[in-house]
Chains A and B, each alone.
Chain A
Amino acid sequence: MKNRLPREHVDIQFLSLCISLLAFLGLAYWAGDIVWIKDFQPFITLISGIFALFIGVLALLRYYTKKMSLNYLFIGIGFLGVGLLDIFQVVLDLGGMSNLFSGAISQVYPVTSVLSKTFLAVIMFVSWLVSRKDEVNGKGKKKKEALLMGLVAGSFALFIGVFVYLMIAGIIVDGMAVIIVGLISLMFLILALLGYLLSKNWLYDDFNYWIIFLISFLILSQIFYLPFFNLEYSNMMNLSIWARFFAYIGLLIGFLNSIYVMFQKEIETQKELTKKNKELDQTKAKVEEAYLMLREEKWSLARAKGSVDNILKGIVKGKK
């Protein structure tokens, strides 16, 4: 049976998530006046790519050590792909690593960034789908889940449909394809977030909370990317990259935490095993002691029986 995490622990986790999101929105509010923030754009993209590769390797390692949940396999493959795409994007945009700090990304909407974002969104949704298959859900819960997901997907389909119509009608053309693909990614991310929240696995496992943390920051990144806020385009691109960076850090913490938990469990199991072995040794010693005592008694009985036999033989002989 799965152990439920303490209620306070879960509350503090979600409180910290909300505070992190608020802090990031605060950063976005003041980012317009921060001069240095735009110089780090390619560097942060590169670091995010490296982090994504690292997460991918950790997830695959986790999957192959236990081979219990396919969820890890999907996250692993997804993050490896995203990491490669992110690094490819930086190299492509800058035209070489020598311009890492001096060069700025010229395109407002680099095509490769759309690719990696969409790929990650789809992978997160698929990872939830796969983890859902592992669980045994109630019929009512499934119905509620399907209704909510259908509503979200429907409203997004409507929204995207309007954009497609505007594009076909030629009313808005500039960057429209990117916005449509971005909206689709956002839809997948929101569906994945809803799925993970409704599965309520975060009540039992810390790692699920970190996945929710990741998806929340990815949604924030996507909102900045599209862009829905009243900010400068360059700032929003920048903040989108920073949000993604924080999302990756979150999942990395999640993996490190899960490794820590696994080690702690291992230590506890070892302790338990040592205790059990000690108890077994003690029991064995007691059994041996009891056996020896029993044997002693048996011998003394045998000896007593021998002497009684001798006495009886003597009596029988005396009578004869």
Chain B
Amino acid sequence: MKGSITANEVKKTRNNVFLDVLVFFSIFLVIGGFAYMILNPGKMKSDVRNSSRNTDILNIMQSMVGYVEETGNIPEMIPLNRTCASIGNEICKTGITDCKGYVDLTKIISKKAGFTLPVDTFRSKGNGTGYYVSHDGEGSIIICAPLSERNVKIELKQFMY
């Protein structure tokens, strides 16, 4: 009948309106996505965490240097391994009694008053700190943070003697 709207037409119109709204909403989302990527707070946080990892491995290395200067030897508990991030090279947390499978640096940090080993933000569980240590057999100590983010390689190699 002329002038009357069928149920199908009403459904079709509703569908069209819904799709129109969806298109506009997604356009706003895209614009929002662009704005978010310009600021990218996620990357900023990762950068901050990575920079704190850098500071942490620098602090650990400083205590190592102090120990080597005092004793004249590379600490015997540091494993010989050219690849820093390997199983068995992870540093044990301060104050943990069971450091089996980890590198126990209690002896070294006890020489530096008030120093506790830093723990990586992403290493909340387990007895490890998330930082790894090894020596290459040629007089250098390597400390690394394999849990670093955004594909940044955080590693410090220091020649001791």
Contacts and interface: CB of A to CB of B under 8 A. Distances in A.
Interface residues of B, number: 25
Given A18-B26, A22-B30, A32-B46, A230 B37 contact: yes
Q: How large is the interface on A (under 10, 10 to 19, 20 to 34, 35 or more residues)?
A: 20 to 34
B3 interface: no
Interface string B34-48: 101111101110100
B149 interface: yes
Contacts of B43: 32, 230-231
A21 B149 contact: no
A18 B29 contact: yes
Contacts of B44: 230
Interface in A109-140: none
Nearest to A18: B26
Contacts of A38: 151
Given A18-B29, A22-B30, A12 B37 contact: no
Interface centre among A29, A35, A228 (most CB of B within 10 A): A29
B77 interface: no
A11 B23 contact: yes
Given A33-B149, A33-B151, A230-B39, A11 B16 contact: yes
Secondary structure of the B contact surface, majority rule: helix
A25 B37 contact: yes
A7 interface: yes
B117 to A, nearest CB: 26
A307 to B, nearest CB: 62
A8 B13 CA distance: 10
Interface string B14-30: 01100110110011011
Greatest chain B CB density within 10 A among A14, A18, A26, A35 is at A18
Contacts of A29: 37, 40, 42
Nearest to A14: B23
A69 to B, nearest CB: 27
A37 to B, nearest CB: 9
Interface string B109-126: 000000000000000000
Contacts, number: 65
Contact of A32 (B34, B36, B151): B151
A210 B66 CA distance: 65
Contacts of B151: 32-35, 38
Contact of B22 (A15, A223, A229, A232): A15
B123 to A, nearest CB: 17
B22 to A, nearest CB: 6
B149 A25 contact: no
Contacts of B139: none
Nearest to B27: A18
Nearest to A34: B151
A32 B38 CA distance: 15
Nearest to A232: B150
B33 interface: yes
A230 B15 CA distance: 38
B138 to A, nearest CB: 28
Interface of B: 12, 15-16, 19-20, 22-23, 26-27, 29-30, 33-34, 36-40, 42-44, 46, 149-151
Given A25-B33, A230-B40, 17 more contacts: A7-B19, A12-B19, A15-B22, A15-B23, A15-B26, A18-B23, A19-B26, A21-B30, A21-B33, A22-B33, A26-B33, A29-B37, A32-B150, A38-B151, A230-B38, A230-B39, A230-B43
13 contacts: A11-B20, A11-B23, A15-B19, A18-B30, A32-B151, A33-B149, A33-B150, A35-B151, A38-B151, A230-B38, A230-B44, A231-B37, A231-B40
Task: Enumerate the 9 nearest inter-chain pairs by beta-carbon distance, A residue then B residue, closest first.
Answer: A18-B26, A11-B19, A230-B40, A32-B150, A25-B33, A229-B37, A21-B30, A14-B23, A15-B23
